[in-house]
Amino acid sequence: MNIFENESGILGSASGDNLKRSFNEFLQQASEIRIRLGKQKYLLDKYLSYLFEATNGILAYEAASEGLETESTLSSLCSEILKGDAKSKDHPFYEQIKAFIDAHPLQYQESFTKLSLYDLMLSDSYLEFVYKQYYTDLVDDIKAFLDIVDLNSLYNKICDTLGGEKEMEHLNLLFCERFLIVKAMDIFLQGMTNQLLYSLTYRDRETSKQIFQLLLDEAFYR
């Protein structure tokens, strides 16, 4: 089956029925748990408040922008090195980029072609370098909204009162389906990937090939 047989393979579904179902089921499940908790329903209220505020505290567009800007930094470093400019020499990834470029000279005439190829060939190493740092930054940011120790304590107290985890596990799943449709780290990664896609589709004027074609032609990359 071709998952890209129509536009929805790239764009996603235009139907909001699943979100409506998830939201209604979430409200129903939360209401039932609150009733069962009785006078201790405040535990669930605080638990849900943490989740709502923490989820809203990390905005999707900011994560996407961070991804785009992070990948742009790699391009800038590659560009500086190709021009012999060492103004960003203190960047912790600078030496690794320079060593790679020095070891893999490219003969193309177009400077942006060489820049795009180096950007793509170094992207995996750079992703590994920045991914954990961005996650650490997000953890620091989310602490303004979330006490993870208290969140877990609330969860355990609620489950003890209910006599098991099944109801809360289902509530968490419904929360994710409706409110955590895409997690911040995935959005960040897609932002970086969009920048890479721009490089992949750039057309080299010397060869009239797109960069992905040249990349596949480069034997040293395999």
Q: What is the mean pLDDT of residues 190-195?
A: 92
Predicted confidence band of residue 4 (pLDDT cuts 50, 70, 90): confident
9 occurs within a structural domain: no
Range of the domain at 64: 17-221
39 occurs within a structural domain: yes
Name which of 65, 157, 96 is nearest 104 in CA terms: 96
12 occurs within a structural domain: no
> Tokens in use for 82?
């190709």
Name which of 192, 196, 222 is nearest 211 in CA terms: 196
Within 10 Å of residue 22's Cβ, how many Cβ atoms? 18
Return the pLDDT at 215: 87
List pLDDT tens digits, range 132-188.
999 999 999 999 999 999 999 999 999 999 999 999 999 999 999 999 999 999 999
Q: What is the mean pLDDT of residues 1-6?
A: 85
10 occurs within a structural domain: no
Residue 222 has pLDDT above 60, yes or no: no
CA 144 to chain centre: 20
Query: What is the 3-class SS of the chain, one letter each residue?
Result: CCCCCCCHHHHCCCCCHHHHHHHHHHHHHHHHHHHHHHHHHHHHHHHHHHHHHHHHHCCHHHHHHHHHHHHHHHHHHHHHHHHCCCCCCCCCCHHHHHHHHHHCCCCCCCHHHHHHHHHHHHHHHHHHHHHHHHHHHHHHHHCCCCCHHHHHHHHHHHHHHHCCCHHHHHHHHHHHHHHCCCCHHHHHHHHHHHHHHHHHHCECCCCCCEHHHHHHHCHHHC
Instruction: Determine the Cα–Cα distance for residues 63 and 143; give it in Å rounded to an integer.
Output: 16
Phi, psi (rounded to 5 degrees) for 87: -65, -25
Q: What is the mean pLDDT of residues 58-80?
A: 92
Q: What is the mean pLDDT of residues 180-198?
A: 93
pTM of this prediction? 0.85
Sign of CA dihedral 108, 112, 116, 122: positive
77 occurs within a structural domain: yes
For 78, 117, 152, 200, 218, the CA distances from 110, given in Å and listed in that order, are 14, 11, 55, 15, 16
Return the pLDDT at 219: 59
Predicted confidence band of residue 80 (pLDDT cuts 50, 70, 90): very high
Return the pLDDT at 18: 85
Report percent pLDDT > 70 for the chain. Answer: 98
7 occurs within a structural domain: no
Return the pLDDT at 59: 87
List pLDDT tens digits, range 12-24.
877 778 888 999 9
Phi, psi (rounded to 5 degrees) for 132: -65, -35
List pLDDT tens digits, range 32-50.
999 999 999 999 999 999 9
Number of domains the chain is built from: 1
Residues 6+ apart with CB under 8 A from 127: 189, 192
- Taking all residues of the chain, what is their mean pLDDT, rounded to a whole number? 92
List pLDDT tens digits, range 91-121.
999 999 999 999 999 989 999 999 999 999 9
120 occurs within a structural domain: yes
55 occurs within a structural domain: yes
